[in-house]
Amino acid sequence: MASPRPLREADLSRVEGVFTDVDGTLTTAHRLRSTTIRALERLTDSGFKVVLVTGRPAGWGEAWARTLPVEGVIAENGGLFFLRGAGGRLRKVYAESPRVRGPNRERLQAEVAAVLRQVPGARLSVDSAYTEVDLAVDWNEEARLGEAGAERLEALLRARGVTAVRSSVHINCWLGRFDKRSAVRRFLKVAWGVTPVPGEPRFVYVGDSFNDAPMFGEFALSVGVANVRRVLGRIDTPPAFITRAEEGRGFEELVRALLASRGGGRGVGS
């Protein structure tokens, strides 16, 4: 497996849009620093489009889409997304129809509950109450299950037919044929009328954990913030490039590189 190259080697001159994970990528020690918010503002002020791509619930996604300087939010590992429509109105798009979501939700709740009973200390994340499509098991936010506990939970969930993918804080669980990658493809088509091409130079993805691996494989310009090194030996696809700094500071490093390469840049559709 090829090792990520230093971010300074990336050609960012044609980038128009940034897709970014949140936990462990924008956040630092589980908090969103003011300097990271300012980095988001600098991107959008310079004409870049920014979209959050997260395992966090729909409730978080809607709040972020309304309050942060972003064009949209893909939430629940691709189960749905929010985008700004005509007149700035927020539009909500699901990966699957209500006919599919309803039965899947009912079964998912039963399968996850059965697994939680098998692992002492395992519990749903507090914010699972605000999900619509997936559920999240807390392994590293308020719970402290460690790597062994997280791996056992993932194995038990997958044995029951549940997709289980770990972020830096949660194990996201869902039933359905979607993930971050398929949601980004659909977002590009629906929001901007774009079909990405191999080696696509217009978009960059930045992340840090297991559930970002499909995105690292999808984007030629994929970037891991430095804390991704903790999982590099265990993910299917590593990022092409890596920052020097970890977490939100790593994202800020990417923003500085983008602004330097484009002198402010221009946005999708300009």
> Does position 263 have pLDDT exceeding 80, yes or no?
no
Picking from 174, 199, 218, the residue at the C-terminal end of a domain is 174
Shared domain check, 91 and 185: yes
Report the largest interatomic distance among the alpha carbons of the chain, rounded to a whole angstrom. Answer: 54
Out of 187-191, 254-258, 260-264, least confident range: 260-264
pLDDT at 267: 42
161 falls within a domain: yes
Give the confidence band of 168 by pLDDT, cuts at 50, 70, 90: very high
> Does position 270 have pLDDT exceeding 70, yes or no?
no
pLDDT at 269: 41
206 falls within a domain: yes
pLDDT digits (tens, 9 = 90+) for 147-157: 999 999 999 99
Q: What is the mean pLDDT of the chain?
A: 94
Domain span holding position 125: 98-174
Picking from 146, 174, 202, the residue at the C-terminal end of a domain is 174
Contacts of 43 (CB under 8 A, 6+ apart): 18, 50, 69, 255, 258, 259
Pairing of strands 17-20, 5-6: unpaired
Out of 86-90, 201-205, 238-242, least confident range: 86-90
Give CA–CA dist 8/220, Å, rounded: 15
Structure tokens at 63: 């709040």
pTM to 2 decimal places: 0.94
Compute the 3-state secondary structure of the chain and give helix, strand, coil in percent, each to the nearest 5: 45, 20, 40
Q: What is the share, in percent, of the chain residues with pLDDT greater than 70? A: 97
Out of 60-69, 83-92, 144-153, 182-191, least confident range: 83-92
Shared domain check, 112 and 90: no
Shared domain check, 258 and 135: no
How many Å from the N-terminal Cα to the C-terminal Cα in the chain? Answer: 37
269 falls within a domain: no
pLDDT at 1: 64
Structure tokens at 3: 């090792």
267 falls within a domain: no
Chain Cα centroid distance, residue 98: 23
